[in-house]
Amino acid sequence: MRLALATIAAAVSISAAQAESQAEPVIVTQVMDSYPAVSPDGATLLFQSTRSGRVALYLADINGGNLRLLLDSGDDPVVPSWSPDGSMIAYAATIDDQSEIFVMQADGSQRRRLTNDPGDDSHPHWSADGRIFFNSARTTPNRNADWSDQWHEIFSMNANGGEIIQHTNCRAVCTFATPSPDGRMITYRRVIDAPGRDWSQSAIERNSEIFVAKLDGSDERNISNDPGFDGWPVWSPDSKWVAFASNRDGAPYAAQVYLAAPDGKSTRRITTGPWSHAQPSFSPDGSTIYAYRLVEGVDFEFGHIAAYATGL
């Protein structure tokens, strides 16, 4: 790992003229350890990884040791989330080219499918009272439209897949919903009709922002408010901050993790450096953020999970 870090640091310092004279390398390995989720007791790290050659879910001690495979189901299990008591895990998986929500016991047993809808169901996150929040395109008027032109709304359901409640009326792309630990609000990524920049820093007509709202979707407000791409919002354990990733610094294919107050009046940066950071996850006491630390380009991506002090 130290050799890899040194190699990347050297690559970053290469001048543009030198870079142009070098042959394009052949990417040999491209492992991604991403979407970290810390267990409620703070002892275990859950994450998705491509180290087996396809996407699977792994567990490790919170310091990265004692790595073990949890689920390699062959259907790309992604975006894992712990139940409040740590006994269950929710995640999304691809079935017949469609994303659906599943749950299983924390040891990987008793896997059950909760959703069965032609619309995209993804990005599950548990609430403190044991409901699973997720985004779904099930109410979109045109299922044949491009994904970005469908209506992705925020829903929640109980741990058995029942009692489904719709929380937003975006009629746009609203994804990655996370309920606040105090049960009063939700935060999510929303695509709005305003000029912005995509992940590569190219100009686009619709911009990705971070919103917060009450559970019924009212009192909605934009707390990121920047033309850069803002995504992956999660609440701090005390419900006083929302962590998210943003490429507002202007570097292509690179973001840093920020904290924003739910009223949008205060924002501060947590990560820095040449590495990109995304998909933040808080430790139970709020003192640490775990993030996907990566290097990415047009046709490559690799990275690992790193921990950063929040100062909270």
Domain boundaries, the chain: 33-309
Global confidence as pTM: 0.90
Assign 132 a pLDDT band (cuts: 50, 70, 90). very high
Kind of pairing between the strands at 44-49 and 203-204:
unpaired
Report the C-alpha gap between 110 and 242 in whole angstroms: 33
**The pLDDT of residue 10 is above 90:** no
Q: Please report the pLDDT score of residue 26 as a whole number.
A: 73
Assign 23 a pLDDT band (cuts: 50, 70, 90). low
For residue 19, give the 3-state DSSP assignment: helix
Assign 263 a pLDDT band (cuts: 50, 70, 90). very high
Q: Please report the pLDDT score of residue 231 as a whole number.
A: 98
Q: Please report the pLDDT score of residue 29 as a whole number.
A: 76
For 77, the token pair is 């299990």
Q: Please report the pLDDT score of residue 6 as a whole number.
A: 36
**The pLDDT of residue 66 is above 60:** yes
**The pLDDT of residue 145 is above 70:** yes
**The pLDDT of residue 22 is above 50:** yes
**Sheet containing 242-246: which strands, arranged edge to edge?**
230-235, 242-246, 256-260, 267-269
CATH number for the 33-309 domain, one of 1.10.287.3240, 1.20.1260.10, 3.40.50.460, 2.120.10.30?
Answer: 2.120.10.30
Average pLDDT score, the chain: 92
For 189, residues 6+ apart whose C-beta sits below 8 A from its C-beta are: 173, 174, 175, 176, 208, 209, 210, 211, 230, 231, 232, 233
Among the residue ranges 65-69, 145-149, 290-294, 295-299, the one predicted with the least confidence is: 295-299
| Cβ 124 vs Cβ 137: under 8 Å | no
| Cβ 223 vs Cβ 243: under 8 Å | no
Which residue has better confidence, 254 or 26?
254
